[in-house]
Structure 1
Amino acid sequence: MIEATWIAFAFVMGLGARSVGLPPLVGYLGAGFALAGFGDLIGVGPRDSAALAHIAHLGVLLLLFTVGLKLKLGNLLRREVIGGGLLHFAISSLVFLPAILLLLDLLWQQALLLAIALSFSSTVLAAKVLEGKRELRAFHGRVAIGVLIIQDLIALAVMSLAAGELPSPWALTLFVLPLLRPLLFRLLDASGHEELMVLLGLLLALVVGGYGFEQLGLSSELGALAFGAMLAAHKRATELSNSLWSIKEVFLVGFFLQIGIGGLPDAHALAFAGAMALLLPLKGLLFFFLFLLFRLRARSAFLSSVSLTNYSEFGLIMASIVLPQWMIPLAITVALSFVISAPLNRIAHPLYERLARRLIPLERDIRHPDEQPISLGDAQVLVMGMGRTGRAAYDRLQEAGLKVVGLDSDPVVIEFSKRAGRRVLFADGEDQMFWQHLDMPMAEAVILALNDAEAKIISTRKLRERGFHGLVVSHALYEDIARRIQEAGVDHTYLTMSEAGAGLAEHVCRDLQARN
């Protein structure tokens, strides 16, 4: 049973990658190459690769659908997203073109298509990394995803033109899609909270969005993304995204396996991948300076650029249509960029802290769209992270008569809390410049209700480094995470599930006493 082989290789290699501090996806890539190398021994043939390619495609569609669930149109219609995406595409294509012509004996038309394929960044890797760090809705995450969507749209247009294919005339019916949003909202409301909701997500991502767009001569990836974005404003969009998490993760393992299983490279393919890997830093530097040009602060520009410093799976899709002879060299190039980019993203925040003194002077001396507050005024308690836990803590403290202010890096969350009458400001707890400039003269306590454990640790250290001696408390899901937060300087760490159980028991005790 070939699926058992895939699972075994993916697990062993993923576990090995994690044990040396790399993301499991790097192990999945290695497993793909291992399967290609031992294909004759274990029976992996073209038919098996085709089946794996189908699984991988489903994973990409589900990923893009869940990305769409977290998108807002306003995040795309920004100068740094549109301008940065278009300028980077044009400049990087022109940078790669002479390098390819110098290295390879190709017609300029083929070299241009290859340069265009290399100008794109990986939507799958960036979205997975940002989602894993819970930064999809942070400012730098929204900028990175916005640029990726611009790139994906360009890629789809280039593939259509290069292949000589035009969309069906029925594609014009897409202009009525926004009219279907009320119907989609009703379907999501009616689907409940269990398997029907999961099936609705699969239906929209794979059937209506994926297969439906293909029948119109458009990209199935674009269809999945579009239907996810149509549901983004629904109050249960996050719940739907969470319900699809495990299914999407399993299918995405197939995506990373598929990159490697396409075949082992020869010396020329390895040389090409190595040369393109040497050019990869130029891609990130170009993003960084373009984002600075469009008024972003150095931190946002750096973190967004790191997310985009890789090569794209869309380059492989494009090669399969117009450059089939370059599939294996491009697969090696994409895989190598993942091996470089994934660990780099993991240390992006600490790396920025080390480089901040050199990067901050490069900022433009103007008002930045990601500006953060410099004073909390008369607030006695600071709540960092305004999700459900943070909002509950904020409301309870306010009822007790304390002056409270909330901070969050997600504008959608901020706007939601402001409509409810809460005082919430935009800020990112992992930004060292925020802590250096923040004035909190009346603050006596800080509650860390952030989702990411690393963000809690960094925030605690920054608080203590700036001389804050007040009360700092945090919640955590697991005991090992709680210990790490306490070692950073938190006064008290509460295990979320244990506290929920204790709260339920307290309610029961009070009700029993009232009855007696």
Structure 2
Amino acid sequence: MTVFGSLAIILGMAAVGGVLARLLKLPSVIGYIVAGMALSAVVKIPIIELMGQLGVTLLLFLVGLELPIATLKKIGSTAMVVGIGQIAITFVLGTLIATALGFAVTPAMYIGIALTFGSTVIVVNLLSAKRDLQSLYGRIAIGVLLVQDFVAIGILVVLSGLGQSGFMVGNLFWVIIKSVVLVGLTIWLSEKILPRLFDFVGKTTEVIFVVALAWCLVIAASISHPAVGFTVEIGGFLAGLALANAASNLQIISRVRPLRDFFMTWFFVALGANIALSDIGSIIWPGTILSAFVLIGKPLIVMFILGVMGYKKRVAFLAAVTVAQVSEFSLVILTLALRIGHIDAKVLSLVGFVAIVTMSVSTYLISNAQAIYRKIGKYLWIFERKAKLTDLGTKKEWKNHVVLFGHNRTGTILRPVLQKLGHEVLVVDFDPQIVESLGPQAIYGDVADYDLYDEIGLSSAVAVISTVSDMGDNLQLLEFLKKLKNKPLSIVTADDAREGEILYKRGADYVLVPHTVGGEYLAGILEHHGLSADYFRSPKMRRIFSMS
């Protein structure tokens, strides 16, 4: 078969699989894997493996670009504790389950590792579609997934350096030394040399893509040299990490991402091609057990940790559901383990089966998490502890007060004005530092947490103000307020006029559209002062705009 014929068959099958997956509202990754399985039953095409390896190299190149070291500082303590705790517990339990299913120690450990990671890509896409990325549980979930990504990259680096030598103490020590040296050199280059070079190259948009791609492949090839001893995939990651601080890194990301997606399609097709249809019968039973552990066990682990930390059952449940799948990184790790001879193809086939099942089911779970919680939430009290995070701040019984959801830029302006008018103001925010700083005037939570509504006394409030622009959360709040005997004044926030109209129809007394208000305010200034440079440059104007 010609090269073009091979390309046509592979991409044609992948396209069909991706479209069918989308029609079923499943991640396209599942369609690509199934396409590879179907393809393996018809014909063997060696080029798939090479293209898939290039896809993983570009994937890790972009991971390095989008993962500057400063990102670690932005991961909150909650995400760090939950992420590390979930990885450790899942790994131990997953390894024990795999051992009980008859796997040897090393394959069982790899299975345990593979089950620990969740898919950042799938979760971000689903939460973005639900507009929940900025919710309390959304921030926790993304933070936990970032921690998992860091750990997964560390495992890939170690495996890449070990190769076929095995987990001997001396070998592991030497790999760690080489890794530290390479990462240190990469960070030095990213701060001292490469930003200037790529900022110069970035002035020509046509050239920056070619130079960045050449840099990635040259470093990948160099790192994979026997004298260095790592794989091309890790070379791609280090090449990306070295460019993380370049001003032109956003240009590089935007241009490389479509190419990455194209070659990652090949990786998932190749993964499916490695799942022998003849093995399906032997992996269904262990695959079903491991899938059940991922779909049920992992969320329970996360709920337990969040409960111990004081989070309420709703936030714990919604955050926990997001980890109920196997990650793309899990498949990358096992593919590397297969290549260096640590596992056999059956282990990769098994985890591939688990990936298909868990990615499919978790998509449904995440999309319908709110509805599921309403049905089972009353049974989840066991995961709450008496010392809840909602105990941060207020413990008094509130009456005739104003409830202010969100102490953001708008909230910080409104609160002192309301207090000046003689109103008691109760702030509800999901930032513990804000709650602690406000003391008894604040409580920990968010507008979507309807279990909190009774605790903050909405039924006895004179006004409820939401500075959060999430449409679904505000509709939920308005629906609750409509049922009250004495409905308080309701002021909510919308992203645009269309959403504002919907909120008015659902009972809002006033809808704040920040961009519209800002435009009207600026128009009023122009009417009175024109384009007076002295007025706009006055300290008074700069103070006002810095607060808005």
Tell me the TM-score normalised to structure 2 length. Answer: 0.66
Please give the secondary structure, in 2, of the residue aligned with 1:437: coil
Does the 8 A contact of 1:29 with 1:256 survive in 2?
no
Equivalent residue of 1:364, what SS? coil
Q: Check conservation: 2:51, 2:263, Cα contact below 8 A.
A: no
Partner of 2:3: none
Q: 1:437 to 1:316 in 2, by over 3 A?
A: same
Residues 1:454 and 2:472 are matched in the alignment: yes
CA 1:487/1:324 → structure 2, altered by over 3 Å: closer, same or farther? Answer: farther
Residue deviations 1:54-74 (CA, integer Å, cap 9, x gap): 345534553575466654266
Q: Does 1:125 align with 2:122?
A: yes
Aligned residue for 1:473, secondary structure, equals strand
Structure 1 segment 102-113 matched on structure 2, within 5 A: 106-113=103-110
Aligned to 1:382: 404
Once residues 524 and 13 of structure 2 are traced to their aligned partners in structure 1, the CA distance between those partners, rounded to angstroms, is 49
The match for 2:345 is 325
SS of the aligned residue for 2:508 comes to coil
Tell me the CA shift for residue 471 of structure 1: 2.5
Q: Tell me the CA shift for residue 28 of structure 1.
A: 4.5
Match of 1:470 among 462, 470, 489: 489
Query: In 1, distance between residues paired with 2:429 and 2:255?
Result: 27
Q: Please name the residue that 1:86 is paired with.
A: 88
Question: More deviation in 374-383 or 456-465?
Answer: 374-383
Distance change >3 Å, CA 439–CA 408, structure 1 → 2 = same
Q: Is the 8 A contact 1:448 1:474 kept in 2?
A: yes
Which residue of the partner structure matches residue 298 of structure 2?
A: 283
> How far, CA to CA, are the matches of 2:12 and 2:75 in structure 1?
45
Task: Note the alpha carbon deviations across 1:275-307, whole angstroms, 9 max, x for none.
Answer: 432333233323333443455443343233212
How many residues align structurally? 482
Shift of 1:338: 0.7
Q: How many angstroms does 1:10 deviate by?
A: 7.2
Alignment of 1:292-307 (within 5 A): 292-293=307-308, 295-307=310-322
Determine helix, strand or coil for the equivalent of 1:134.
coil
Alignment check: 8 A CA contact 1:62 1:224 kept: no
What residue in structure 1 maps to residue 328 of structure 2? 313
The counterpart of 1:16, out of the listed 11, 19, 23, is 23
Judge conservation of contact 2:51–2:266 (CA < 8 Å) in 1: no
**Counterpart Cα distance in 2 of 1:455 and 1:319:** 40
Is contact 1:295–1:368 with CA below 8 Å preserved after alignment? yes
RMSD: 5.4
- C-alpha distance in structure 2 between counterparts of 1:456 and 1:185, whole Å: 46
Letter paired with 2:492: V
**Separation in structure 1 between the aligned mates of residue 526 and residue 194 of structure 2, nearest angstrom:** 37
CA distance in 1, matches of 2:265, 2:311: 33
> 2:62 & 2:369 partners in 1: Cα distance?
26
Secondary structure in structure 1 of the residue aligned to 2:492? strand
Q: 1:29 to 1:283 in 2, by over 3 A?
A: same
Contact 2:118 / 2:148 at 8 angstroms: preserved in 1?
A: no
Residue ranges of structure 2 left out of the alignment (5+ in a row)? 1-6, 166-170, 534-548
Q: Secondary structure at the match of 1:365?
A: coil
> Which of the residues 167, 190, 215 maps onto 2:175?
167
Aligned equivalent of 2:168: none
Aligned pair in 2 of structure 1 residues 109, 514: CA closer, same or farther (>3 Å)? closer
Residue of structure 1 in register with 2:268 after alignment: 259
Q: CA deviation at 1:345?
A: 1.4
| Residue of structure 2 equivalent to 1:490 | 508
CA shift for structure 1 position 37: 3.1
**Structure-2 separation of matches of 1:427 and 1:246:** 39
Q: Distance in 2 between matches of 1:303 and 1:210?
A: 41
Contact 2:432/2:444, CA 8 A, preserved across alignment = yes
Preserved contact between residue 216 and residue 240 of structure 2 (Cα < 8 Å): no
Relative to structure 2, which stretch is displaced further, 425-434 or 168-177?
168-177
- The answer to whether 1:29 aligns with 2:23 is no
Q: Indicate whether 1:72 and 2:76 are aligned.
A: no
Larger CA deviation: 427-436 vs 140-149 = 140-149
Q: Structure 1 277/66 Cα, relative in aligned 2: closer, same or farther at 3 Å?
A: same
Equivalent residues of 1:53, 1:258 under 8 A apart = yes
CA contact (8 A) 1:32 1:260 kept: yes
Equivalent residue number for residue 432 of structure 1: 450
Within 5 A, what are the aligned runs for 1:207-218?
Answer: 207=216, 211=220, 217=230
Does 2:373 align with 1:359?
no
Deviation string, structure 1 residues 190-249 (Cα, Å, up to 9, x no partner): 89x9998x979x969x85999598768484687589779x87xx9x9xx98899579658
Residue type at the aligned position of 2:89: L
* One-letter code aligned to 1:366: A
Match of 1:273 in 2: 287
| Cα distance between partner residues in 2 of 1:508 and 1:223 | 51
What letter corresponds to residue 171 of structure 1 in structure 2?
Answer: S
Query: TM-score with structure 1 length normalisation?
Result: 0.70
Structure 2 counterpart SS, 1:472? strand
**Bigger Cα displacement from structure 2, 83-92 vs 377-386:** 377-386
- Looking at structure 2, the residues matched to 246 and 486 of structure 1 have their Cα atoms a distance apart, in angstroms, of 42
Distance 1:220 1:497, change over 3 A: farther
Amino acid across the alignment from 1:454: G
Paired with 1:5 and 1:183, the residues of 2 have a C-alpha distance of 45
CA distance, structure 2, for counterparts of residue 252 and residue 287 of structure 1? 30
Match of 1:146 in 2: 147
**Cα distance in 2, alignment partners of residues 185 and 448 from structure 1:** 42
Letter in 1 for 2:58: L
SS in 1 for 2:175: coil
Matches within 5 A, 1:176-195: none
- 1:377 Cα deviation after fit: 9.2
Q: Which moved more, 1:174-183 or 1:161-170?
A: 174-183
Residue 471 of structure 1 aligns to a residue in which SS? strand
Task: Please state how far the C-alpha of 1:256 moved relative to its aligned partner.
Answer: 6.2
Asked if 2 retains the 8 angstrom alpha-carbon contact of 1:260 and 1:335, the reply is no
Is contact 2:34–2:269 with CA below 8 Å preserved after alignment? yes
